[in-house]
Amino acid sequence: MNTYHNMNEMLEYIEMHLNEEIQYKDLAKILGVNEYTMKVLFTFICNISIAEYIRKRRLSNAGLDLCTTNEKILDLAVKYQYDNATSFSRAFEKFHGIKPSMAKENPNGLKVYPKIVLNEEEKEIPNMEYSVVERKPIVLYGKGIKTTHDKISYDAPKLYKEIYEKYSDKYGEIDYGMTVYEDRFESDDYEYWVLYEKEIPGFIKYEIAGGRYLKFTISSQDAEEIQKVTNEFYRSFLPSCKYNLRELPELEYYHNNITDFLVPIED
Q: What average pLDDT does range 252-265 have in this prediction?
A: 96
Residues 63-84: tens digit of each pLDDT: 999 999 999 999 999 999 999 9
Band of residue 44 on the pLDDT scale cut at 50, 70, 90 = confident
Amino acid type, 26: D
Residues 141-200: tens digit of each pLDDT: 999 999 887 788 899 999 999 999 999 999 999 999 998 875 655 556 788 999 999 999
Least trusted range by pLDDT, from 32-36, 77-81, 145-149, 254-258: 145-149
CATH topology of domain 131-264: Multidrug-efflux Transporter 1 Regulator Bmrr; Chain A (3.20.80)
Question: SS3 of 192, please?
Answer: strand
What strand order describes the sheet that includes 131-135? Answer: 131-135, 211-218, 258-264, 250-255, 176-181, 189-196, 138-148, 204-208
Percent of the chain with pLDDT over 70: 95
Q: What average pLDDT does range 82-91 have in this prediction?
A: 96
Residues 104-140: tens digit of each pLDDT: 888 888 999 999 999 988 666 667 889 999 999 999 9
Q: What is the CATH number of domain 3-109?
A: 1.10.10.60
Whole-number Å distance between alpha carbons of 20 and 223: 43
- For residue 125, give the DSSP letter: P
pLDDT above 90: residue 256: yes
Amino acid type, 11: L
Predicted pLDDT at 151: 86
| Beta pairing, strands 204-208 & 138-148 | antiparallel
Band of residue 1 on the pLDDT scale cut at 50, 70, 90 = low
pLDDT above 60: residue 98: yes
Predicted pLDDT at 184: 56
Same fold, 3-109 and 131-264: no
Predicted pLDDT at 182: 58
Residues 199-242: tens digit of each pLDDT: 999 999 999 999 999 999 999 999 889 988 988 898 888 988 88
Residues 6 or more apart whose CB falls under 8 angstroms from that of 139 comprise 205, 206, 207, 208
Question: SS3 of 256, please?
Answer: coil
pTM exceeding the 0.85 threshold for the entire prediction = no
Domain ranges of the chain: 3-109, 131-264
- For residue 235, give the DSSP letter: I
Nearest one of 25, 38, 5, 30 to 238, comparing CA atoms:
38
